[in-house]
A and B are shown apart, each in its own frame.
Chain A
Amino acid sequence: MILHWSKKKSITGNKATPYLRSIILLFVFYLPITGVSQTKLNVHGYLTQAFAISDGHQILGIPSTGTSDYRTLALQFRFDLDEASNFVIQLSHKKTGKSPLAVLEKDIALDWAFFQHKFSNQYSIKVGKIQIPFGIYNEVRDVGVLLPFYGLPYAPYGEGGYMSETVDGLSITFMSEDFNPWNFEFSIYAGHWSWSEWFNTKNVFSGALEQQVGIAQIEKGVGGQLVLNTPVDGLRLIAAGQFGRVVDGLSFSENGILGPKNFYDGLLAIDADFEKYFFRSEFLFLALDKTDVQVNAGYAQAGYYFSESFSLNIQGEMFRVNYLTLPPILSKITGKSSFSFDFDIDYAIGFKYNFSSNYTLKLEGHWNKGYLVEEIALSPFQEKAAETLYSILSLSTSF
């Protein structure tokens, strides 16, 4: 699917949705006080509402005038059919300010819905629309109370960064129990998922900005993840990988820049969460078959807990694209046979204050250099990366 327009307009929403949204917002803020938990049905949810502003360029949907149209919200319903089987469904509402990808947002979207059965304490299966176990954060990417910053690092989790939250298919998980103090969890999954893509171009005649948005489909996708819990309490190591065929969208359609391609990626992560501090880092490698394009992306973040309520967090991330051999036209423009550029570099510092385990306030500042700016078209082959400062103030709750 490709959406193409020069004047942005919403393709979602109707007259009823503001009322529906208000009801859900009230519901989410009311539930932490009352709680809804029964033997057969459990209702949980989360909400993060933010105000974000940038110093000049528009980036990640954040304009220089600021936006409060920046939130994530979800309601989860879990039905326990018996001791071993359950059905889980999660509905969400997400707003990303003025992001080009905002046109893909639905007022109420189905996050995931799956049937889960535990054959034993070790083996379980999920069937349906399932969260992809990939790295430290992919399964909890919007749960604000759990995150040190408002959002996840663009590398490797960014919208448009070759990453999906869910797979339509099945997953099987094995959890070891017999290797104390070491134990591990291994998951494999297969099915179909999708990536969102966007980029800016200049109209060759008028010079006007044109934003292009597309959804690439991953067919016959398979993946797996190994989480190794070490004897050091709070320290775990993760290795993950995926393989599939990408079609459609902006780059991978028959007439796209790259055409249909096989892709494979791999991820290594370390997650250390201790009494006084935490350190997390992930590194992603992605390659497209029969092209000379590779992506190396990663981040490191650390935090110090001054108290149980208050922490200081820092983060650095990098998303690097390598053209091992440039196509002739690009080689002529750059005068080089190969080309590498940092698509995104971002450094952040933030404070997090927990009023309780269920209410969290975050204030963060980011310095970004790259090609994620949204109000102009920047070519990495011809122009320098843009520098942007942006800040986000957010309040999160969950129940």
Chain B
Amino acid sequence: MKRLVISLLVIIIILPAVFTIAKNKKGYKVVTGTSTNTKSIGKDELSRIFLKKKHKWGDGVRIFPVDLVESRKERTEFSKDIHNKKVSSIKAYWQKQIFTGRGVPPPEKVTDSEVLDYIQQHEGAIGYVSNSTSIENLKIKVITVTDD
């Protein structure tokens, strides 16, 4: 009986944690070129980079953010997680920037391989791809996103 109670208690304590971990596991990973001197980045800073409010890395290299297209589920998750906004709100933000002449959005790529190609071709580029996409043998690294 004592074993049963302990087992139940363990299950009660561990199960929610397992579900929480599963729920918090992101479907995307943030990637940049291996030459970029950044191992981790805060959500706020990442949001500012993708809204083109921050233009340069700490070492002065120009930042080239690259997005995924609206139809990709990673884009939806990234917008909610990093900008805390719907993709449509971010799109509206860029439409305002465009038609007031203030700026243009980052390029949007359809596939992960296009994002990875862009990052390899542009020093200082940063993007995100599906968690399952392999970056082996590429001059690309994953950077950790922190909660600021």
- Give min CB distance, B142 to chain A, whole Å: 26
Chain A residues with CB under 8 Å of B91's CB are 357-358
User: Are the CB atoms of B84 and A83 closer together than 8 Å?
Assistant: no
Please tell me which stretch of A140-148, A201-209, A384-392 contacts chain B, meaning at least 4 of its Cβ atoms lie within 8 angstroms of it.
A140-148
User: Are the CB atoms of A46 and B99 closer together than 8 Å?
Assistant: yes
B62 within 8 A of A: yes
Q: A37-B107, A143-B95, A357-B92 are in contact. Are A308 and B86 (CB under 8 A)?
A: yes
Report the nearest A residue to B106, measured CB to CB. A37
User: Are the CB atoms of A357 and B88 closer together than 8 Å?
Assistant: yes
B24 within 8 A of A: no
Q: Most chain-A CB neighbours within 10 Å: which of B53, B86, B98, B104?
A: B98
- Give min CB distance, B91 to chain A, whole Å: 4
| CA–CA, A327 and B104, complex, Å | 53
B100 within 8 A of A: yes
Q: Give chain B interface residues in 103-139, CB to chain A under 8 Å.
A: 104, 107
Q: A116-B101, A121-B55, A357-B70 are in contact. Are A398 and B88 (CB under 8 A)?
A: no
- Give min CB distance, B50 to chain A, whole Å: 16
A112 within 8 A of B: yes
Q: A78-B104, A233-B84, A354-B88 are in contact. Are A143 and B99 (CB under 8 A)?
A: yes
Q: Give chain A interface residues in 360-399, CB to chain B under 8 Å.
A: 398
Chain A residues with CB under 8 Å of B26's CB are none
Range for the number of chain B residues in contact with chain A: 10 to 19
- Residue interface bits B74-108, CB-to-A below 8 A is 1, else 0: 00000000001011110110011011110010010
Q: Most chain-A CB neighbours within 10 Å: which of B55, B84, B101?
A: B101
| CA–CA, A233 and B93, complex, Å | 13
| CA–CA, A76 and B86, complex, Å | 26
Chain A residues with CB under 8 Å of B96's CB are 140, 143, 146
| CA–CA, A356 and B96, complex, Å | 16
Q: A233-B84, A356-B70 are in contact. Are A112 and B95 (CB under 8 A)?
A: no
| A-B interface contact total, Cβ < 8 Å | 57
- Give min CB distance, A8 to chain B, whole Å: 31
A139 within 8 A of B: yes
Chain B residues with CB under 8 Å of A78's CB are 101, 104
Report the nearest B residue to A173, measured CB to CB. B102
Q: Which of the residues B53, B62, B88, B104 comes within 8 Å of A44, measured between beta carbons?
A: B104
User: Are the CB atoms of B99 and A44 closer together than 8 Å?
Assistant: yes
Chain B residues with CB under 8 Å of A145's CB are 92, 95
User: Are the CB atoms of A357 and B87 closer together than 8 Å?
Assistant: yes
Q: A121-B55, A308-B88 are in contact. Are A398 and B101 (CB under 8 A)?
A: no
User: Are the CB atoms of B104 and A42 closer together than 8 Å?
Assistant: yes
| CA–CA, A356 and B88, complex, Å | 8
A319 within 8 A of B: no
A114 within 8 A of B: yes
- Give min CB distance, B59 to chain A, whole Å: 16
Interface residues of B, Cβ cutoff 8 Å to A: 53, 55, 62, 70, 84, 86-89, 91-92, 95-96, 98-101, 104, 107
Selected A-B contacts with CB under 8 Å, 29 pairs: A37-B107, A42-B104, A44-B98, A44-B99, A44-B104, A74-B99, A76-B98, A76-B101, A78-B101, A78-B104, A83-B55, A83-B62, A90-B99, A90-B101, A112-B101, A114-B101, A116-B101, A121-B53, A139-B99, A143-B95, A146-B95, A146-B99, A233-B84, A273-B89, A308-B88, A356-B70, A357-B87, A357-B88, A398-B95
Interface residues of A, Cβ cutoff 8 Å to B: 37, 42, 44, 46, 74, 76, 78, 83, 88, 90, 112, 114, 116, 121, 126, 131, 139-140, 143, 145-146, 233, 273, 275, 308, 354, 356-358, 398
Kindly list 8 other residue pairs between chains A and B, CB separation below 8 angstroms, not including A90-B101, A273-B89, A357-B88: A37-B107, A78-B104, A88-B101, A116-B101, A131-B100, A139-B99, A357-B92, A357-B95
